[in-house]
Amino acid sequence: MSILRRCNLKKILSAAFLPALLLAAFFAYAAQAAGAEIVIFHTNDTHGRVEGNGKDIIGIDRVAAIHKTVPYSILVDAGDALQGLAIATLGKGEDIVALMNEAGYDAMTAGNHEFDYGFERLVELEGMADFPFLAANVMKDGKPLLSVLEIIEINGVKIGIFGVTTEETEHLAMPGNVRGLTFEDPIKAARETAKSLRGQGVHVVAALCHLGVTPYEGTLSTALAREVPEIDVIIDGHSHTALENGLLENGVLIAQAGQHGDNLGKVTIILEGGRIASKTASLISCEEAWQTPPDGAVAAKLSEIKAAQDVILKEPVGEAADAMSSARAPGVRTQEMPLGSLVADAYRESAKAGLAVTNGGDIRADVTPGVITKGDILNVLPYGNKLMVKTVTPVLLAKTLENGVSGIILDEQGNIDHEKSEQGRFLHVSGFRFGYDPSAPVGKRIVSITLDDGAALSLSDNTTRFSLAGSDYLMTGGDYYTMLGELPIDRDDLAAADEALAVYIRKHSPVSAPKEGRIIIQEAKTADKRTGCKLSYGYVALVLMGAALVKMKLKAAAQK
């Protein structure tokens, strides 16, 4: 299999192994001279989906089996692996690390959701792993929080791997979980690290990036490729994009495998004379992967973890009368969805608040008709957030809603481009409804806010006060909700978000999908933005006609 698989100075070879070392070096040199092939298998944004289903989740046991049966291959992850479903949440990532150890992962980068348990826990989890967590641009007190780079030698080829994490993590993570950390410019960190790896004589520079290829406010992997051509391959994550044959940008191959383990990414690199002759990317689908039997050791470890957790997770909570989807886009991150409304209703009732909001990014799994278990609840809301109540005026509520719809982008036909608009900050509401104009400039899109009792709020009212409930993630400024983070806390001795949802479902079981109509597409040009009241064209015409008559009478009077 591999030769000098991992460079580690802690391992000191005795003189007794010198002949074997020289022989290995000879074969490594011979392999390079004749041409060598290496394979990088990669996953990203699995969000705790370690158990396969044969439809759209491969499962970590089959990922391991494919990797272990391909000579001269390594296995890496591009982030957001340790948080997502209940199987990840219960052990705060520890069980996922144990499975990744068993599967033979060689490295991973820290995604923004790796910080969901707090950065101290992330450091603990790296200590439990048999592989490094890589993040060259995440600093604590001027020093890297995690490992920066790793050099792996396989089939005579030195692969230099480093990681970078989106600087958006500072705003996407719970503010308290990243307090004291600095997320530096990924391009600057990548340029310096790639240069360092080249200086160490590596043949391939691979960047494990949690950046993404679709519009975000942070650096994209495509920009990284343009600015740092010293990188050969970018293994990407964050945007949940399936790049079937990769993306070539400035000579840099960008690969990403989708989401939730629906594909296994594969990058094949052929070297001749120590230089890259070709590099290609492909995807192994779930259907194709399931033709490979699962790895026995990984499957056994998964069964062991599930058996221990099922005692807690299989406890019934209530029933659902309808299916409610957690689809991202079109879905909870771009439009009104029943599941978002249900969660917001649960928050409002639990906190005994007048109004409530929840962001689409917090909602992570579907609700299916039938019995709902505690595990189902934790899958829907896996982050362990608590509820918090603050006081807002209509002006502040409008600013909050503006942030929620700020990511909406229209296509050439004037329709919402759901793929480009997908952002976790999109809000779902309870206790009121609102109208917005997606064609208006960002910051001027909210047209109307109407309470459930029919009262229309003036968007310039900075006096009337309402109690607003939401997760402590939003209320402390996460997802760019700084306008909420700046407000004083009224109450925070409240239920956890998942507990609030469980109690609500138990009380109202069987729960039905809430009626739609809370979020309305409304053209600003037909509305008075100060009051949110629509003006009819007939009314406008009467006003203009009246003005014309007054003008005519004044002119006639002046002529007399």
Cβ contacts of residue 240 below 8 Å, gap of 6+? 44, 45, 258, 259, 328
How many residues make up the chain in this entry? 560
Between CA 491 and CA 445 the distance in angstroms is: 30
413 is written with which tokens?
A: 């036909």
107 is written with which tokens?
A: 């490295």
Neighbours of 550 (CB within 10 A): 10
322 is written with which tokens?
A: 């309808």
What is the residue whose two structure tokens read 């990243």? 178
Q: Provide the 8-state DSSP code for 84.
A: S
Between CA 450 and CA 226 the distance in angstroms is: 47
Q: Provide the 8-state DSSP code for 136.
A: T
Between CA 263 and CA 160 the distance in angstroms is: 24
As a 3-state breakdown, the chain gives helix, strand, coil percent values, each rounded to 5, of: 35, 25, 40
Task: For residue 454, give the amino acid letter.
Answer: G
Angle at alpha carbon of residue 550, lines to 547 and 551, rounded to 5°: 85
Q: Which residues of 462-496 are buried (b: 16+ CB within 10 A; e: fewer)?
A: eeeebbbbbbbbbbbbbbbbebbeebeeeeeebbb
Contact in structure between 333 and 423 (CB atoms under 8 Å) = yes
Task: For residue 377, give the amino acid letter.
Answer: I
Contact in structure between 174 and 478 (CB atoms under 8 Å) = yes
Q: Which residues of 194-220 are buried (b: 16+ CB within 10 A; e: fewer)?
A: bebbeeeebbbbbbbbbbbbbebebbb
Q: What is the pLDDT along the chain (560 residues), one digit of tens a residue?
A: 333 334 433 332 233 334 444 444 444 444 443 479 999 999 999 999 999 999 999 999 999 999 999 999 999 999 999 998 899 999 999 999 999 999 999 999 999 999 999 999 999 999 999 999 999 999 999 999 999 999 999 999 999 999 999 999 998 888 999 999 999 999 999 999 999 999 999 999 999 999 999 877 789 999 999 999 999 999 999 999 999 999 999 999 999 999 999 999 999 999 999 999 999 999 999 999 999 999 999 999 999 999 999 999 999 999 999 999 999 999 999 999 999 999 999 999 999 999 999 999 999 999 999 999 999 999 999 988 999 999 999 999 999 999 999 999 999 999 999 999 999 999 999 999 999 999 999 999 999 999 999 999 999 999 999 999 999 999 999 999 999 999 999 999 999 999 999 999 999 999 999 999 999 998 865 444 333 333 333 333 333 444 444 344 444 444 44
Q: Give the three-class secondary structure for 550.
A: helix
What pairing do the DSSP bridges indicate for beta strands 233-237 and 204-210?
Answer: parallel
271 is written with which tokens?
A: 């070297």
Between CA 429 and CA 448 the distance in angstroms is: 14
Task: Name the pTM for this structure.
Answer: 0.78
What is the residue whose two structure tokens read 């982008």? 409
DSSP codes, 239-292: S--B-TT-EEETTEEEE-B-STTSEEEEEEEEEETTEEEEEEEEEEEHHHHTTS
Beta strands in 404-445 (DSSP E): 427-430, 432-436
- Between the alpha carbon of residue 432 and those of residues 340, 428, 438, 452, 539, the distances in Å are 14, 10, 19, 5, 27
- Between the alpha carbon of residue 539 and those of residues 237, 397, 446, 526, 532, the distances in Å are 53, 29, 22, 11, 16
Q: Provide the 8-state DSSP code for 514.
A: P
